[in-house]
Amino acid sequence: MQDDSIDFYFDFTSPYGYLASERIEAIADKHGRTVTWHPILLGAVFKLSGVKPLIEVPLVGPYSLHDFTRSAREHEIPFHMPEQFPISGVAASRAFLWLAGQDRQQAAALLHALYRAYFIDGRDIGQPQVVVDEAEKLGVDRHALLAAMQDEQLKALLRTVVEAAIERGVCGSPFIIVDGEPFWGNDRLEQIDRWLETGGW
């Protein structure tokens, strides 16, 4: 029996991850699929690949900053490049994993809230208190979440999740796997749509 999920790997500080996260659910719904969200930490990926954040690469950096905004405009997604960039995605990822263990739908809501807080409002979601503030707006117990984010088991879970992603070949954000087929980048969503429409090629 075919798994109907679309595996969506993302880093909370990835502009392209944010843009794709705003669109992937509509594509999934169109094809009767569901999205399974997987947080990753690009820092760990970059250590293996030897790649730097796009904005730190000569020539590529200025282009990327321009393209983030243009891509958001194309799809009419609110976007404002944060002053603090890049930041750590650890706190947000831990919070997501903890909540996903209890309520995956609420965890998805937190994912969107955190992405929007960072890429629209410029809030530093690298700070645990900011993450907790956003979670509390969704009805999450802030004290329980703060305690969980310092739990060694949750820290270990995040490491395991990131290692599993790397073992699966995830090399950036967003990275999407559909029926075993990998797609890297926000600019691959139209290709994913066609892949699902045709059953692959």
- pLDDT tens digit sequence for 103-151: 999 999 999 999 999 999 999 999 999 999 999 999 999 999 999 999 9
pLDDT of 89 reads 97
Eight-class DSSP state of 54 = G
Q: What is the pLDDT of residue 2?
A: 54
Q: 0.85 cut: is pTM over it?
A: yes
Domain boundaries, the chain: 5-198
pLDDT at residue 173, rounded to an integer: 97
Regions of the chain where pLDDT drops below 70? 1-2
Q: Name the CATH topology of 5-198.
A: Glutaredoxin (3.40.30)
